[in-house]
Amino acid sequence: MKRIAVVATLGLLSACSLQPARNSGNSAALFGDILKQPPLADSVLRDGDQLSYQAQVASGKVTATPDIAQLQASCAKTDASLLFVESTSKLAADGQPERVTVMRELLPVVVANLQQNPAFIEACAHTPRPDWRLVGEVEAQRQLLIDRASLKNVAGAWQFWGAIDEPSILINQQKKMPYAQTRLRLQANCTSQTYRSLAEFALNQNNVVTFGKTETATQDKPFDSAEATTQMLLKTVCAGDVANKLERSPSAVPRNKTALVLTPTPVPATVLAAIDALELPPASKPLRRLVLERNSGSVSLRYELFFEPGAQSGQLHQREVGKYSTSNKITFRGLFNLTFQSQYKNNGLEVSVASNVEQLSFSGDWKQMPVGQTIGFSLKERNRNSSRPESLLSRQDSCLVKRELPASKIHSNLGGIAKELACTSTGEKRVTTSTVYYLQDSGYFFSSKSATQDLYKEDMKLLQVE
C-alpha cells in the first residue's frame, strides 16, 4: 500500500468523520486489511482489556521491510485505534524512519475485522493482565518494574517485560515524541549471563504507545554491555527464586505525571564578581512593572514584565507574562539573561527550556558610559531544552554610546537621564544589531529595536511604566 493512500484516508476513519459515504467503503477495506494482520511477535502489550501491538501493513508488492502499523484495541468491546504507521525502509530528513502519526479511533465497521482475526483473538486469550512489581529505583526517582505475569521460561532462558518508569513526561529528542515509561521485552540467559533485547516501546502517561519497535535480528550480548537500568532488570531476574521474589515485591503504583520542568543552575560566583566589579550604583527609582508591545512585522504581541531586585547589585528577577508563554529569569539590569526558565507548547509537546551564564566579562567604562565611547561584554551560556540536545553558546556584544537624552522621551513616566546605545551582538552563527536605552534612574536597559541580519526584525514599545 502506498503511504500517500494512508495519509489521504486517515480523515475517513475517525468516528466523527464527515466525509461522503461513497468513500467510506474503500477506506474501511484499506484499514480493515491492517486489522486482519497478525500481531508481530514480541510486540503485544496489555493494560487491562487493552492490547497494544504492531502489525505489518498489507501491500500489493513484496518488500524486504514492510511498513509497520501500531495499533491499540480492546479485547472486550468493538474499539480500536490506529496510533501511527512507520516505514523502516524510508528515512525522513532527520534520519528517523518515515512516519505518519495518527492517534485516532477507527470506525466500528473497520474494527469488526478484529473479530475475524484469529491471531488477535488468541493474543487476547493468552496475554495475561499485567502484574507490575517495583524491583528498584535509580537516580531522579526513576522506577524499575517487572511484569510478574509476563515471566516465563523458554528453552532455559527467562523472557519477560521490564519497564523504566519516569517521574515526569519526557520528550524523545530524536523522535520528538512524549513518553513517561519505557517497556523492554527481554530474554535473559542466567547461566551464560547473556541477554537479548526483543522489543522496546515508549508509552505516554495514559499507557498509549508513542514510539517503539521489535527487534528482527536479535543476538546474545553480555549483561555488562547493557545500559545500567537494563542490567538491573536482568540481574533481578537471575538472582534466583525470581517467581517468589517478584510475588513478595510491592505492586507498582501508577504515578501522576506532568511534563518535565528544567531549572537553571544558580548564577556562579565568578559571574557575580564580574558584575560587582563594574561598581554600578543601585537604581534610585527601581521598576516594578512594564507593559510592552513587541512588533515583528505582521505579528504584534503584548506582554508584561514584573520586577523584583536581586540580592546582588546588577541583578533583576523578572517574570515575563505573554499570551503564549510565561518565563522567569534573572537579568543583568535587563540587558541579558543570567538565568532563564520557561515552558511552552510546540506541536502538542510541553517543552521546557532553561539556561544560565557560566562565564562573563566586561570591557569599557560601564559606570560613566561616556558618549562616543564603546562598552562591551562576552559570555558563555549553557542552554538546555527538553526537546533537543544541550548546548554551550558564546556571545560577544559591543555597544557604542551615541547620545544622552531625557528618559521621558522614551516614556512620560520615566525620569532622569537615558543613554542611547547602538549594539552589535555576535553569536555562534548570526549577528544582531539593536538600539538600547540605559534608563539611569531605573538601572535598566530597554531594547527598543533589533534586527538579526535579514532574517528577523523586532520593534519594542513601552506602553506602561510603574
> Is the separation of the CB atoms in 85 and 69 below 8 Å?
yes
> Is the separation of the CB atoms in 182 and 204 below 8 Å?
no
What percentage of the chain exceeds 70 in pLDDT? 91
Calpha distance 336→451 (Å, rounded): 16
Q: Lowest-pLDDT range, 100-114, 277-291, 312-326, 417-431? A: 312-326
> Is the separation of the CB atoms in 465 and 413 below 8 Å?
yes
Calpha distance 124→46 (Å, rounded): 9
CA angle 34, 38, 41 (to 5 degrees): 125
CA angle 427, 429, 435 (to 5 degrees): 45
pLDDT in tens, 269-301: 999 999 999 999 999 999 999 999 999 877 888
pLDDT value of position 314:
62
For residue 49, what is the enclosing H or E element? Answer: none
Residue 426: all three cell numbers together: 555576535
What percentage of the chain exceeds 90 in pLDDT? 76
Domain chopping of the chain, boundaries: 3-126, 132-248, 278-465
Calpha distance 324→88 (Å, rounded): 36
> If pLDDT is split at 50, 70 and 90, which confidence band does 2 have?
very low
pLDDT value of position 394:
97
pLDDT in tens, 239-278: 989 999 999 999 999 999 999 999 999 999 999 999 999 9
383 C-beta neighbours (distance < 10 Å), count: 16
pLDDT value of position 97:
77
pLDDT in tens, 191-209: 999 999 999 999 999 999 9
Residue 439 has pLDDT above 60, yes or no: yes
What DSSP string describes 128-147? PPP-EEEEEEEGGGEEEEEE
pLDDT in tens, 3-30: 444 444 444 444 333 333 334 555 567 6
pLDDT value of position 217:
82
- Residue, of 151 and 100, whose pLDDT is higher: 151
pLDDT value of position 20:
34
Phi, psi of 135 (to 5 degrees): -115, -5
Q: Are strands 417-426 and 388-406 parallel, antiparallel or unpaired?
A: antiparallel
Calpha distance 348→332 (Å, rounded): 33
Calpha distance 315→331 (Å, rounded): 6
Place of cell 479511533: 105
pLDDT value of position 221:
96
pLDDT value of position 7:
45
Place of cell 486469550: 125
Average pLDDT, the chain: 90
Is the four-CA dihedral 365, 369, 370, 374 of positive or negative sign?
A: positive
> Is the separation of the CB atoms in 439 and 410 below 8 Å?
yes
Residue 1 has pLDDT above 80, yes or no: no
pLDDT value of position 310:
65
**What is the pTM assigned to this prediction?**
0.86
Calpha distance 54→38 (Å, rounded): 8
pLDDT in tens, 156-168: 999 999 999 999 9
> Is the separation of the CB atoms in 309 and 300 below 8 Å?
no
pLDDT in tens, 339-396: 999 999 988 899 999 999 999 999 999 999 999 999 999 999 999 999 999 999 999 9
> Is the separation of the CB atoms in 360 and 349 below 8 Å?
no
> Is the separation of the CB atoms in 189 and 156 below 8 Å?
yes
- Nearest in space to 397 (alpha carbons), one of 412, 381, 414: 381
pLDDT value of position 324:
80
Residue 320 has pLDDT above 70, yes or no: yes
What DSSP string describes 192-236? TTEEEEEEEEEE-TTS-EEEEEE-SS---EEGGGS-HHHHHHHHH
Calpha distance 223→245 (Å, rounded): 21
- Nearest in space to 317 (alpha carbons), one of 302, 333, 304, 335: 333
- Residue, of 323 and 250, whose pLDDT is higher: 250
Q: What is the CATH number of domain 132-248?
A: 2.40.128.710
